[in-house]
Structure 1
Amino acid sequence: MRFSTVSGLVAALSLACASNAARILLNNDDGFGSGNTRELYRLLKEAGHEVVIVAPATQQSGQGGLTEFTTEANLTAPSQYDIVPAGAPSVGTDPNDSNIWYYNGTPAACTFVGLDYVIPRYYKDWKYGPDVFVAGPNFGVNLGPFVFTLSGTIGSTYAAVSRSVPGIAISASNDRIAYSDVKNTSNPATWTAKASFKVVQEFIESTPEGQSVLPLGYGVNVNIPPLDNDEEPPIYQTRLTGEADTDIAAYDEETGLFDWDFALPKPAGVNACWNGDCSLPGETWIVNGGGVSVSLFTVDYDAPTNVYTTDVFGKVSALFEGPKGNGTSAGSKKLKRGLARPIIKRHQ
């Protein structure tokens, strides 16, 4: 089926389908030479989907949603695994596959380069852009709300969701491997790709004609446990919180250096449940038990409407102008008339 991702609620929920193939933009913070990503790319293409990779020229893990564009027109060093030599353009294609693109920037920057440069210029038949954005499978899981803010895999997905493109972030437990080292289909990269493909394909095939894969503002976070063979692991509906970890600064007395470690016991703050179904198992618990977790997130971070939110706002209510909560306060009117404009700075 063909999905469109035109901005706007009507366009996102009432989209024409022309075939059984989806147009998929694939990214990965581990770089465009990732064995995991290349294997998923292969499986998606074999299933008849149109797939374009736009991923970092080098490994860019842990960048979160940082959008950093290169200031150099050419690569100052060879790309990942020496696929592209130093001196090549900062954006270009793999010498062996014109649908695999690299860009010398962060994962989120690659999402935007894919949406605003690669697809409009070189895939003009993708009139409304990709039907689905997929990041990963990452080398290493991204479990829980704390890692959610740090992961380049999720950051690049969040960037796509912010642009009205349905986004699926996938992270796995296998070790890093170059695509050129994947010699057969009996290896963790291929097993991980198969588990990832199953989830992506199910989302696509289960979407009725005329609908978007995901509602506006929705994204998916998938995590895959260690796989020892090609036996399909069980898949569970989960939530981000619940048995989730967060970090501490662990000081080494011998070296005088800090490193991260898990906070024990698990802090209640990172596991507080205010939204969604609090009866669902946490993704951390499911993956630790050998299952694949599928969690949903939205870009709406607003606090829920409850007594706690009312109490918090109440503490500073004396500062607010006009009636509260109706969107027509004196302050709002001033902003609309341009008499009081907030200073907006881009944070990197």
Structure 2
Amino acid sequence: MRPQSVFALLPALAQGIRIIQSNDDGWAELYVRSFHDFLLAAGHDVVLSAPAENKSGTSSLDIEPFPRNSACQYNSCPPNSRSPIGRNDTSPRLNWVNSFPVTSMRYGIDTIGPQHWNGAAPELAVSGPNVGSNLWLSVPFSGTVGTAVYASKQAGIPAIAFSGASGGTLAWNTNPVPLRSTVYAELAGILVDKVVQAGKPYLPQDVWLNVNFPDVKEAEGKCVDVEQFKWVLSRINPAGILSGKDVSTCGADRLPTETDVVNEEDGGGCFISVSVGDSNDKTTASKEKQKVVLDKLAGLLTCLP
């Protein structure tokens, strides 16, 4: 098991970058906090801007934040703050926005992040890890996906949405930290570092990566260590009769769906789906853009059995 305190022992990256982070489960959800801690320990300049409470399933809704009267999620901010946005006084990198996930990402990109970075813009946007998967039919409705799509399309910032199949919401101060939270944080950090190390532009224009982790089955000792996981390039939606070809890899020109990837049990299971999403319609991006991502993730990706 990797306790959260181990993050502080990680070597810092030579290429730490400015990262804006959000989610749709709320700013005080444990998954997003574990990932935040991991990115900091890895040397990234990360700022969290997420909803004040759980706003799952709100897709791309975006309205101006309004004054908050009740306490934030898990009592993580006091009642009657009368403020539309707020932050953790002892850790100003942690910020809440009293509105929807996309709104929190927008404020993070336009206002909260630049205030921390002396006016500079974020270089990468990440969302999640979401509590629960975001696969195919759920993708258009996901606020986690919505934040990544907003960043990549409207703001022109490369973006990655992470989701983990192991469910169960957890407060930011849960102790001890469950293994699933630290495993997902480390896996997400591995992909971020791979993308960053591949160099700019980190991703093609108007795409985002939709990444889904399988269950962490601690009781079975399965998918409990990052070395057990394998990364597979996938597609979001099943291919139709009129669908164009995917990038050629693993001896085929049709990628597996992300659902098939995370449900694969052969070869030990523990497969992670990485789909290249089209920010214009939240479906699968073209083979040309898939090829760019395939090349950037060379050495990380593998094939299904």
For normalisation by structure 2, the TM-score amounts to: 0.77
Q: Give yes or no for the alignment of 1:119 onto 2:109.
A: no
CA deviations on 1:254-282 (whole Å, 9 max, x unpaired) are xxxxxxxxxxxxxx87x973463451111
User: Does structure 2 conserve the Cα–Cα contact (< 8 Å) formed by 1:135 and 1:169?
Assistant: yes
RMSD: 2.3
2:162 aligns with 170
Of 232, 236, 244, the match for 2:232 = 236
Q: Residues 52, 27 of structure 1: CA spacing in aligned structure 2 closer, same or farther, 3 A cutoff? A: same
Runs of 4+ in 1 over 3 A off after TM superposition: 271-278, 300-305
Q: Residues 77, 237 of structure 1: CA spacing in aligned structure 2 closer, same or farther, 3 A cutoff? A: same
Of 36, 41, 46, the match for 2:41 = 46
Of 130, 133, 151, the match for 2:142 = 151
User: Does structure 2 conserve the Cα–Cα contact (< 8 Å) formed by 1:75 and 1:87?
Assistant: yes
1:109 aligns with 103
Instruction: Count how many residue pairs are aligned between Structure 1 and Structure 2.
Output: 252
User: Does structure 2 conserve the Cα–Cα contact (< 8 Å) formed by 1:182 and 1:189?
Assistant: no
User: Does structure 2 conserve the Cα–Cα contact (< 8 Å) formed by 1:177 and 1:189?
Assistant: no
Gaps of 5+ in 2: 1-13, 219-223, 248-252, 265-269, 287-305
Q: Residues 56, 36 of structure 1: CA spacing in aligned structure 2 closer, same or farther, 3 A cutoff? A: same
Identity of aligned residues (%): 27
What is the alpha-carbon distance in structure 2 between the residues aligned to residue 182 and residue 234 of structure 1? 29
SS of the residue corresponding to residue 64 of structure 1 reads coil
What is the alpha-carbon distance in structure 2 between the residues aligned to residue 190 and residue 167 of structure 1? 21
User: Does structure 2 conserve the Cα–Cα contact (< 8 Å) formed by 1:35 and 1:182?
Assistant: no
CA drift of 1:59 comes to 0.3
Describe how 1:168-317 pairs up with structure 2 within 5 A: 168-174=160-166, 175-184=168-177, 187-207=179-199, 211-229=200-218, 230-232=224-226, 233-242=229-238, 273-274=243-244, 276-277=246-247, 279-289=254-264, 290-301=270-281
1:344 aligns with none
Counterpart amino acid of 1:136?
G
CA deviations on 1:224-266 (whole Å, 9 max, x unpaired) are 0001253221111111123xxxxxxxxxxxxxxxxxxxxxxxx
User: Does structure 1 conserve the Cα–Cα contact (< 8 Å) formed by 2:214 and 2:271?
Assistant: yes
CA deviations on 1:88-108 (whole Å, 9 max, x unpaired) are 122010233111000001000
Q: Residues 109, 304 of structure 1: CA spacing in aligned structure 2 closer, same or farther, 3 A cutoff? A: closer
Q: Residues 304, 205 of structure 1: CA spacing in aligned structure 2 closer, same or farther, 3 A cutoff? A: closer
Q: Give yes or no for the alignment of 1:137 onto 2:137.
A: no
1:20 aligns with 15
CA drift of 1:285 comes to 0.6
CA deviations on 1:122-148 (whole Å, 9 max, x unpaired) are 224352x1110000000010011x211
SS of the residue corresponding to residue 181 of structure 1 reads coil
For normalisation by structure 1, the TM-score amounts to: 0.68
CA drift of 1:217 comes to 1.0
User: Does structure 2 conserve the Cα–Cα contact (< 8 Å) formed by 1:283 and 1:295?
Assistant: yes
Gaps of 5+ in 1: 1-18, 243-267, 306-348
